[in-house]
Amino acid sequence: MKLRWALVVLIILLGIAVRFVQYTSDRPLWADEAMLIVNILSRSYAELFTPLDYEQQAPIGFLLVEKWLTTVFGIEEYILRLFPFIASMGSLILMAIVSMEVLPYVYSLLAILLFIFSAPLIYYASEVKPYALDLTVGLLLTVLSVRRQKPLIP
C-alpha cells in the first residue's frame, strides 16, 4: 500500500514541477488578466464586494486573497500568480485522492497523469484568474462527497 502511494506522490511532484516551469516562464499578462488586476489594485477591500469594472467577475475570496498578497508582498506578476499556482498544487493532491478512492489503482494513475499533463490546467496554474481555484474547490467538494458516501468504518 505504501508503494502505491509513493508512486502517486512522485507523480504529484512531477505535476508540481510542470506547473512550476509554467509559473516561472515569465509570460506576459494578457488583457483579461490585466483588467482583473486593475480592479484588484485600484479598489479597497470593501470595494471588491461591488461589481467589477471591465466586465470582470471573480469570487470574492479570490479577490480578497489577491488584494492581500499584493498589499503584503508588493505588486509583482509572480505575486499575482501565486494564489492560482498554490491552488493548482492543491488540485493535484485532491485529484489523486478522488481517483484513488473511486478507481482501481492502474486507472487512477492514468487519471492522475492525464490531469497533470492537461495543457489548460497547466496554463491556468499561472494565470491571474480564478480558474485554478474553481477547480480546487470543485475537487474538494468531490472528495467530501465521496467520503460522505463511504462508511467511516469498513
**83-117, pLDDT tens digit by residue?**
999 999 999 999 999 999 999 999 999 999 999 99
- Note the Cα 54 to chain centre separation in Å: 24
| Max CA separation in the chain (angstroms) | 53
What percent of the chain clears pLDDT 90, i.e. is strictly above it? 87
**24-57, pLDDT tens digit by residue?**
998 899 999 999 999 999 999 999 999 999 999 9
DSSP state at residue 117 = T
